[in-house]
Amino acid sequence: MKNTETKIKYLTQQEAKSLFSTIESTCASHTLRDLSIFRIAYRCGLRASEISLLKLEDYNMDKGEIYCKRLKGSNNNTIRLDEKTKHILNKYIKKNGISSTSEILFKSQKNKPISRQTLNYLMKKYCSIANIEDKSKHHFHALKHTTAVHLAECDIDIKELQWWLGHKSVSNTEIYFQFTTKQQERMYAKLEGKSELV
């Protein structure tokens, strides 16, 4: 747990809201694709390379669930999307006529799976427009850290977060339970009025 604050770069709740509203308000041909990518990456805690692997067959439209094929020795799992993300993804699929189950969901302009370099470029672009000043957060992988910290702040327990992120070892999950301001406030609230402490 040493120096985790300097290693883990994540967006605050306010920065994440600014990022998504920036993407949503951008009038460009790829806005719907980018919004789908960023919302799925945030919801599921996916790496850039994992986003590029997603195919139509990995999305259960009826249940609104994504089968996450995780890399780097992590466990695959299925994550249910929130209503807004599901609506945006359905709209994107329909607009782009994606119908073959083996078809890659997110492609570049060259019709190839979207690359890590492109996703990092998009993260830098949208973070800059959203006025997120800390440039060390302008990397796509910061979204995975953001997911983890935000879930930890929602009082999800460590085993639940381990499953959500696909971690094989709980030690990889522990770093997200560093004391953020929200976690500290909740801790102090628990102690209010407790007679055991004098």
Residue 4 domain flag = no
pLDDT in tens, 117-159: 999 999 999 999 999 999 999 999 999 999 999 998 887 889 9
Q: How many folded domains does the chain comprise? A: 1
Residue 184 domain flag = yes
pLDDT in tens, 104-126: 999 998 889 999 999 999 999 99
Residue 64 domain flag = yes
Residue 85 domain flag = yes
Q: What range defines the domain where residue 129 resides?
A: 10-191
- Give the CATH number, domain containing residue 45: 1.10.443.10
> What does residue 91 show for φ and ψ, rounded to 5 degrees?
-65, -40
Residue 2 domain flag = no
Judge whether 106 and 38 are in contact, CB under 8 Å.
no
Residue 198 domain flag = no
pLDDT in tens, 10-67: 999 999 999 999 999 988 889 999 999 999 999 999 999 999 999 999 999 999 999 9
Q: What is the pLDDT of residue 6?
A: 43
Residue 196, pLDDT > 80, answer no
- What global pTM score does this model have? 0.88
Judge whether 153 and 182 are in contact, CB under 8 Å.
yes
- Contacts of the segment 76-81: beta carbons below 8 A, 24+ positions apart: 76/166, 77/163, 77/164, 77/166, 79/43, 79/44, 79/164, 81/40, 81/43
Nearest-angstrom CA–CA distance, 24 and 152: 26
Q: What is the pLDDT of residue 28?
A: 81
Q: Tell which wins on pLDDT, 182 or 18.
A: 18
Q: What is the pLDDT of residue 194?
A: 60
Residue 1 domain flag = no
Cα Rg of the chain, angstroms = 18
Q: What is the pLDDT of residue 5?
A: 44
Residue 196 domain flag = no
